[in-house]
């Protein structure tokens, strides 16, 4: 469920998103796993069945395509973000009614790249603060606390996910 915090998998504590990804990717498809999560401030266990990784062509599709230049853009953690417009909505398969900022460029070796942000990601909220455009994005990401912990609510071509990181990691 959106907003869940994953604390462990099959009884093993998870310390980072990278560790979770490594464990999940090493698990065979169609295997039952148990996640230890926090949902609405309550700890619980849920069982899931693992799926398969999409074909390489689909993964490559998700990461490519240059976005058109935008007059309203912001730089953040090695990314260039801009407001969602009809051209970007069409290019990255978003509804024009969506709200947020689109990642139009990610610098190689940047913090954003290491967290897993890719070109075409739609940032819907930052630390549970909804983002409707570049101004809101700049306002939220300029807060001092964000230099320590960030949780991004991302729409990646219809797949909703959270990306998180901490400079203390």
What is the chain's pLDDT, residue by residue, as a tens digit (169 residues)? 677 888 899 999 988 877 888 888 888 888 899 999 888 888 899 998 888 766 666 555 555 443 444 447 889 889 999 988 888 888 888 887 888 999 999 999 988 898 899 999 999 998 888 998 898 888 888 765 555 678 899 999 888 999 887 765 4
Q: How far apart are CA 106 and CA 146, in angstroms?
A: 19
CB-based contact 169:147 (threshold 8 Å): no
Q: Is the Cβ–Cβ distance between 126 and 139 less than 8 Å?
A: no
Q: What pLDDT is attached to residue 65?
A: 44
Per DSSP, which regions of the chain are E strands?
A: 5-9, 12-13, 32-39, 42-49, 73-76, 79-83, 101-106, 122-126, 129-130, 149-156, 159-166
Question: Which pLDDT value is given to residue 125?
Answer: 92
Distances (CA, A) of 153 to 2, 47, 93: 9, 23, 17
Domains of the chain: 5-49 (2.30.42.10), 56-166 (2.30.42.10)
Does the predicted TM-score (pTM) go above 0.85?
A: no
């Amino acid at each position: 469920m959106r907003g869940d915090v994953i604390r462990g998998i099959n009884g093993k504590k998870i310390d980072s998103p990278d560790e979770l990804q490594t464990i999940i990717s090493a698990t065979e498809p169609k295997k039952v796993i148990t996640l230890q999560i926090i949902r609405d401030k309550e700890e619980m266990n849920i069982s899931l069945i693992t799926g398969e990784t999409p074909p390489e062509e689909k993964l490559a599709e998700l990461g490519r395509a240059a976005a058109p230049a935008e007059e309203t853009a912001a730089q953040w953690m090695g990314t260039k973000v801009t407001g969602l417009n009809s051209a970007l909505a069409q290019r990255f398969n978003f509804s024009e009614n969506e709200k947020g900022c689109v990642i139009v460029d990610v610098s190689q070796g940047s913090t954003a790249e290491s967290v897993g942000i890719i070109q075409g990601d739609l940032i819907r909220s930052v630390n549970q603060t909804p983002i409707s455009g570049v101004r809101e994005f700049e306002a939220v990401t300029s807060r001092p606390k964000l230099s320590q912990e960030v949780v991004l609510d991302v729409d990646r071509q219809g797949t909703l996910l959270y990306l998180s990181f901490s400079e203390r990691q």
